[in-house]
Amino acid sequence: MITLDRLINVLGGYGARWHSGSADRQTELRSVVLPEVVDGRTVSGDVLLAVGAASPAEALQWARAARAVVVLTRGEHADPELDGAGVAVVVIDSAMPWSDFAAIVYGLVMEGRETESGRGPTDLFALADSLAGAVGGAVVIEDRSSQVLAFSRGQQDADPGRIATILARQAPPELRAVYEAHGVFAHLAVSDDPVFVPGDAPDGMLDDAAGRTGRMVVAARAGRELLGSVWVACASPLVGDRRRALADGAHTVALHLLRSRASADLERQVESELVIRLLESPADAATVASRLGLPPATLRVIALRASDEGGRHAALLQMFERATAGFGWSRPSRSALADTTVYTVLAAEAAAVARDWVSALVAALPEQLTVQAGISAPAAATELAVARTEADECLALQEGTGADAPPAYDESWDDLLLRRLRAAARSGRTPPRGAVAELRAHDSTHGTAYVPTLRAWLQERGDPGRTGTRLGVHENTVRYRMRRMAELTDLRLDDADKRFAMMIELAVLD
């Protein structure tokens, strides 16, 4: 079961919007009905699909008769004064067919546990087999990012392009170049008509046992939104019944993708809420980690941000969708989207494992996206609130330094400590007077190099030979400079606390 609040949030991604009504958003929904009367009795249910209502007011009247909690209706100019007391009125996008919304709502309410690892992909493989029989050619179903979702059986006569596409879960670059040259992707973006690509790919990519083949491709669309595409291997354009079967099959694929995406959106929302809860409160962390399928110990938090030329928010959503894509709970990570950051909890003892996960994520994203990441030290489930802060600091470190690899807290804690101290120094918390300040002023006025000499002397633990080597001068020069510094200011190099304080001040003022 899902709540009214989650139903409204998920449907918002499909062009629906809450209009009015004071129904309890935490009400669980258990049934979906159409407006009808059977044997003189109005059919009742929690969710009413007000198909045929002339206005939202009429839809609300039907909903009250059906004792519904929420009613879905059309209405470009819904009455702002509409009194939806006790019933939530949700207005859907006029470009989305009722059949599509019905598939989504039934999937969410009646099959709320369906996930990306559940029936969705299985149905797509069965659908690919059925469609292949109807059109007389091998079928591949792809999402809107051109990732392979399903394919029909029977690979014995497959051409090299189909084999490479299935193995890599995406068409190889040379084949994509052919599709681009024929304007396939531009066509899919604006048209629902099937288009044919002749078999003129290089290196025999589209040559099967029977000779050279091509591809017939059609968009799988819901309303105005492109959800994916259906590809058929064929020697010539499909016509007649086969072409109609391909067009009808694309619509069915779109319904399956809608249901799968709605289920995935619901799963992402549940997952995100649990991860945020895990990162904010250690009180029931072990229980929440168990619900997420994570081990109680040896976890790392990864903080990620993304941006592209189009802006940060779109890139962030793309990254979150990719981080939570896959096959249900079999993924090794659990992720949440909070403000401008994606947080991922990953079971990883070594920082290299977390970096490999980040690299795999980046490789699956469009090339124009820029991703920064920070990795916490290993932590138990009850320590993840602290680990989140560590990941945030490491993310800021990469953003500030431009380091190639994401920093991990257990490897970069010293750099982070110095960043904190430098931040304090910039706020005026370093001594305006004292030995280091006086030597710095002397260097500025007289062109001497006493501050670099003092820093090297402290780093080499007072050894004049190694200090001279570090500075590129003779050790006698080091001794002379140290004597002059002692004359200019009160160094007190025999005091361990003073030496330690000077080392900190020199480090944060670099």
**pLDDT at residue 122 tops 50:** no
Q: What is the pLDDT of residues 212-265, one digit of tens each?
A: 688 899 999 877 778 899 999 888 899 999 998 998 888 888 877 877 776 667
**pLDDT at residue 115 tops 60:** no
Average pLDDT value for residue range 112-134: 63
Cα–Cα distance between 172 and 165 in angstroms, integer?
Answer: 6
Q: What is the pLDDT of residue 208?
A: 61
Q: Which residues contact 126 (CB under 8 A, 6 or more apart)?
A: none
Residue of 80 and 82 predicted with greater confidence: 82
Average pLDDT value for residue range 188-210: 76
Average pLDDT value for residue range 467-493: 91
Lowest mean pLDDT among 234-243, 361-370, 466-475: 361-370
Q: What single-letter DSSP state applies at residue 203?
A: G
Cβ atoms of 220 and 128 closer than 8 Å: no
Residue 452 pLDDT class (50, 70, 90 cuts): very high
CB neighbours of residue 140 within 10 Å: 22
Cβ atoms of 217 and 184 closer than 8 Å: yes
Q: What is the pLDDT of residues 390-421, one digit of tens each?
A: 999 999 888 888 888 899 998 888 777 777 77
**pLDDT at residue 190 tops 80:** yes
**3-state SS track over 50-63:** CCCCCCHHHHHHHH
Cα–Cα distance between 67 and 106 in angstroms, integer?
Answer: 18
Cβ atoms of 373 and 395 closer than 8 Å: yes
Residue of 432 and 141 predicted with greater confidence: 141
Average pLDDT value for residue range 321-334: 71
Beta pairing, strands 299-307 & 341-347: antiparallel
Cβ atoms of 237 and 215 closer than 8 Å: no
Average pLDDT value for residue range 34-54: 88
Cα–Cα distance between 259 and 227 in angstroms, integer?
Answer: 11
The predicted model scores a pTM of: 0.52
Q: Could you confirm whether domain 119-261 is CATH 3.60.20.10?
A: no
**H helices then E strands: how many in the chain?**
18, 20
Average pLDDT value for residue range 136-163: 82
Cβ atoms of 53 and 82 closer than 8 Å: no
Residues paired with residue 206 on neighbouring β-strands, in sequence order: none
Average pLDDT value for residue range 60-81: 81
Q: What percent of the chain has pLDDT over 90?
A: 25
Average pLDDT value for residue range 427-454: 81
Cα radius of gyration rounded to whole Å, the chain: 32
Q: What is the pLDDT of residue 160?
A: 82
**3-state SS track over 398-413:** HHHHCCCCCCEHHHHH
Q: Could you confirm whether domain 285-410 is CATH 3.30.70.270?
A: yes
Average pLDDT value for residue range 173-182: 86
| Domain layout of the chain by residue ranges | 2-110, 119-261, 285-410, 435-508
Sheet holding 299-307, edge to edge: 333-338, 341-347, 299-307, 370-375
**pLDDT at residue 27 tops 80:** yes
Q: What is the pLDDT of residue 155?
A: 59
How high does pLDDT run on average in the chain? Answer: 82
As a dihedral over the C-alpha atoms of residue 62, residue 66, residue 69, residue 74, rounded to 10 degrees, the angle is: -30
First to last CA, the chain: 59
Q: Looking at the domain covering 435-508, what would its CATH class be?
A: mainly alpha
Cα–Cα distance between 212 and 114 in angstroms, integer?
Answer: 41
Cα–Cα distance between 180 and 189 in angstroms, integer?
Answer: 12
Average pLDDT value for residue range 76-99: 75
**pLDDT at residue 169 tops 50:** yes
**pLDDT at residue 116 tops 70:** no
Q: What is the pLDDT of residue 408?
A: 93
Cα–Cα distance between 79 and 63 in angstroms, integer?
Answer: 16
Q: What is the pLDDT of residue 171?
A: 84
Q: What is the pLDDT of residue 110?
A: 66
114: left (phi over 0), alpha (psi -120 to 50) or beta: beta
With residue 370 as reference, give the H or E element that holds it. Answer: strand 370-375
Residue 429 pLDDT class (50, 70, 90 cuts): low
Q: What is the pLDDT of residues 482-494, one digit of tens each?
A: 999 998 988 888 8
Average pLDDT value for residue range 461-482: 92
CA-nearest of 37, 75, 68, 70 to 53 is 75
Cα–Cα distance between 182 and 362 in angstroms, integer?
Answer: 29
Segments of 182-324 assigned E as strands = 195-197, 207-208, 211-212, 214-222, 225-234, 299-307
Cα atoms in the Cβ-side hemisphere of radius 13 Å centred on 395 = 22
Q: Which residues contact 173 (CB under 8 A, 6 or more apart)?
A: none
Cβ atoms of 478 and 453 closer than 8 Å: yes
Lowest mean pLDDT among 106-110, 322-326, 429-433: 429-433
Q: Which long-range contacts (CB under 8 A, 24 or more apart) does 144-151 make?
A: 144/226, 144/227, 144/228, 144/229, 146/170, 146/171, 146/176, 146/229, 149/121, 149/124, 149/228, 149/257, 150/121, 150/124, 150/125, 151/125
> What letter represents residue 432's amino acid?
P
**pLDDT at residue 112 tops 70:** no
Q: What is the pLDDT of residues 289-317, one digit of tens each?
A: 888 888 877 899 999 998 876 556 677 87
Q: What is the pLDDT of residue 302?
A: 96
Q: What single-letter DSSP state applies at residue 159?
A: -
Chain centre distance of CA 94: 29
Chain centre distance of CA 149: 18
Q: What single-letter DSSP state applies at residue 371?
A: E
Beta pairing, strands 299-307 & 370-375: antiparallel
Full DSSP string of 402-452 = --SSPPBHHHHHHHHHHHHHHHHHHTT-S-SSSHHHHHHHHHHHH---HHH
